[in-house]
Amino acid sequence: MATFADMATLLMAFFVLILSFAEMNVPKYKEVSGSMNDAFGVQRKVPVVEPPMSDSVIAKQFSQAKVETTPLNTIQEQTTDVPQPEDPELRVTTSPSDSDLSSDLEKVQAALKDEIARGDVEVVRQDDKISVVVNSASAEGLESGQDGDSSGRTLSQDTISLYAKVAEAQTSVVTEIQVVDKSPAQDTQVADASSSIPQEPQVEAGNNELEQIRARLAPEISQALVNVEMEDNQIKITLADQGSFVSGSADLRVQFLGLLDRVGQSISDAGGSVTISGHTDSIPIAFSMRFNSNWDLSAARSASVADYLVTQDYLSTGSVAVQGFADTVPLAPNDTADGRARNRRIEIMIDKRG
């Protein structure tokens, strides 16, 4: 049975066969074409667009644009036959001491900025030390006694405050700080004391124990490490806080032992009874297993100083007593860092009557 596909295939083959038998009558075709042109009308003029004829793809009328030249700013070296001085050689120092000293000098100047602004002191650099020069106007802090003799001079409150600031600054710097007084009396006293230091310090026979101790401790007094004065017919030696103890502890620091040795040597032959008192600031003790309050801490610190002086044979056991006052006898208000530093101290009272 034939399908539709078979019928379509046969029809196509038949059509191809008929076409192969056909012949194209060209003249007859042109005749028919002419008849149709006459009947319907045909545009006889056909525009022909001819491609441009040229020797190159670049237009012959091409001309280069006019360009204005721009001169470059060329820097040329200027030469001369005149000899020129040589550039100074820059020296770069790698010594840590110079940088440390400059940094320490700035710290001391910042600590004493108020005194410097008032013209009371000058902070200068001398060799490898920092000198705090006390001007003559502020030397009024050294007050003479009623008899007018310099042996009865005591330090005023302003001078003690100045020395306390110097002492606090010393704890934060490495460079040694020395205090120089421009007043003639103080210069003479320091010069006489310094000349006697290399030998076993001995003063003239007529001087009392106060002047002997001052002469022996003159360098420490000039550096605001120690203050020596007469109070109620007793010799009072005040040791400023120089980081003498570990914070919140009664353990002596190594750098404090040298000062204790010099103080012990100065009072070893003074005689009489010696009372060592400890004072603290008002900051309460926190996280301490040994001390419950500043009372315990102040008493323990005075006992540590007494134990060291007795152990080194500077004092005898029977002549020494210790006391702890906590923050009950302040020298300055405890609301500032300077005031708290002044209040943290050790006082040694020598009573010749004992």
pLDDT (tens digit per residue) in 161-189: 777 788 778 777 777 788 777 655 444 44
Angle at alpha carbon of residue 343, lines to 167 and 291, rounded to 5°: 115
Q: What's the CATH superfamily of 232-354? A: OmpA-like domain (3.30.1330.60)
- Separation CA 278–CA 103 (nearest Å): 33
| Residues comprising the chain, all counted | 354
Express each pLDDT in 18-64 by its tens digit. Answer: 888 877 777 777 777 777 777 776 556 666 666 666 565 555 565 66
- Separation CA 301–CA 323 (nearest Å): 9
Angle at alpha carbon of residue 321, lines to 212 and 201, rounded to 5°: 15
**What is the structure's pLDDT at 1?**
59
CB atoms within 10 A of CB 118: 11
- Domain parsing of the chain, residue ranges: 96-218, 232-354
Query: Where is 294: in which H helix or E strand?
Result: helix 294-311
**What is the structure's pLDDT at 145?**
42
Nearest CA to 239 out of 268, 260, 218 is that of 260
Query: For the whole model, what pTM was predicted?
Result: 0.45
3-state secondary structure at position 240: strand
**What is the structure's pLDDT at 25?**
72
β-strands 177-181, 154-155 pairing: unpaired
Tokens of 185: 């009396």
**What is the structure's pLDDT at 143?**
46
- pLDDT below 70 — which residues of the chain? 1-2, 41-65, 84-101, 136-157, 182-208, 353-354
